[in-house]
Amino acid sequence: MLKKRIIICLDVKDGRTTKGVKFRNNMDIGDPVEMAEEYYRQGVDELVFYDIMASASGRGPILDLISRVACKVFIPFCVGGGIGTLDDIRSTILAGAEKVSLNSQAVKNPGLIEQGAGVFGSQSMVLGMDAARDPSMPSGYRVFINGGRTATELDALEWARRAVALGAGEIVLNSIDADGTRCGYETNLTRMISEAVHVPVIASGGGGTPAHIADVLTEGRADAALIASMVHSGDYTVGGIKRSLEESGIPVRS
């Protein structure tokens, strides 16, 4: 079994880290640069930054914040939010990000995935997908954009396959239903997407305990677990989570 990754997500709004439940009732929880540095010290494998208001506000990525974080951490660093053109991708990578996450903008302009992969390689192109249960969709899940506020006509499974065909080298799959609840990941959704594509799938939304992470890495067949609330709250550390997973027989990066 390949070693699994633990990835921490920092949702950023107006230059500050924020956290909500199911994309609502967001609260300011700290400075993203200081938090990134602390999680790097704890041994997190990767970081993901999402500017949760950029696409809805019609602005580009916050390059100054990206460069300040990149100076503090020396692990893979992915940035999403407001990246709508090839120039945005280029400037984000030049600012210090190894990967860019395309979510709303990829839905609006799927060709951007292909363009980005052609110039920077598929390893730099991450599909961010926010999905919620909807029995009217073929897979049972509908894709949402604009921070979970706008429903699309895209089926989650169909969109994942199409994005990978266009050049996405990884998928961050976020369950809107589970987001911020700390009640466990959507293992059914994660397993369905993981089995359908040949690229790594990162489970997001619902992580509350190491047991939840273990479940989605095994039953959900995820390649990595993205966490936020469980470490932002101070209830768990990266090291403690990794030790628990190792005790469960799940290989993780040291």
**From the CB of residue 200, how many other CB atoms can be counted at a distance below 10 Å?**
16
SS3 for 21?
strand
Integer Cα distance of 159 and 28 in angstroms: 32
Strands (E), 134-192: 141-145, 150-155, 170-175
| Cβ-contact 161, 204 below 8 angstroms | no
**CA–CA distances in Å: residue 224 to residues 60, 105, 203:** 27, 24, 6
11 in active site: yes
Among 51, 130, 155, 179, which one carries the catalytic annotation? 130
Q: At what angle do helices 210-218 and 238-247 cross, to 10 degrees?
A: 50
Nearest of 209, 247, 204, 203 to residue 221 by alpha carbon: 203
The residues assigned a catalytic role are 11, 130
